[in-house]
Amino acid sequence: MNKLALPVLLTASLLGALSAPAAAAPQLSAQSIIVNPVPTTLQARVWVDRDRSGNAVPSYRVGDRITLYATVNENAHVYLFNVNPDGTVDQILPNRFSGSTYLRAGQTRAFPSSRDRFTFDVAGPEGLNRVLVVASRRPLNLNELSSYAAGQDFATVKPTTTPGFAQALSIVVNPVQRPIPQQDWTSDAAAYNVEY
């Protein structure tokens, strides 16, 4: 079984600059989570196994296993990111083990699931982490945003992209050729602490 040591912190500023011409720009909340200002019926929710409500900030020690959960109210493609306390961002889904991002309405999916061949083991640095889910009615191509290092099973957001992560994601979600309407995506985030 492969193990993934992720400092499980997903950033919500992932979608910060998702804006189409003449449309309202997405807003960043006080927690730096991306909020789509355009009304949408699509809803997504993400949480960690130690806080199913998604309202608390549970703590994990380095080496603890963690399971992430996501659900959507409509059929959608879900993408998971980990934003670390140092600002680096890891792409959790899709990955080389689980490329399918499609989730049916009302379905709750665990990452990793009991059928997956990997585990998520919490790694440092210590501090506040965020898990970000982006749900889209259309599939996204994340090749411009992240890449796999040689021999790695999980992609990392490119270092040149990380400071402008939200802007880079906006290019992925809103490409020039076929923009994704703002009402076709949404996001949610969950937080947790990493302790030694």
pLDDT value for 41: 93
Q: What are the start-end ranges of the E strands in 104-166?
A: 108-111, 118-122, 127-136, 146-147, 156-157
Q: Which residue has the higher pLDDT, 49 or 22?
A: 49
Measured CA to CA, the distance from residue 115 to residue 124 in angstroms comes to 26
DSSP state, residue 167: H
User: What does the pLDDT look like over 64-94, one tens digit per residue?
Assistant: 999 999 999 999 999 998 888 888 888 888 8
Using alpha carbons, list the distances in angstroms from residue 23 to 54, 172, 179, 180.
30, 17, 12, 12
Whole-prediction pTM value?
Answer: 0.76
Q: Which residue has the higher pLDDT, 132 or 14?
A: 132
User: What does the pLDDT look like over 95-113, one tens digit per residue?
Assistant: 888 868 899 999 999 999 8
User: What does the pLDDT look like over 140-167, one tens digit per residue?
Assistant: 888 778 888 888 888 888 776 555 666 5
pLDDT value for 168: 60
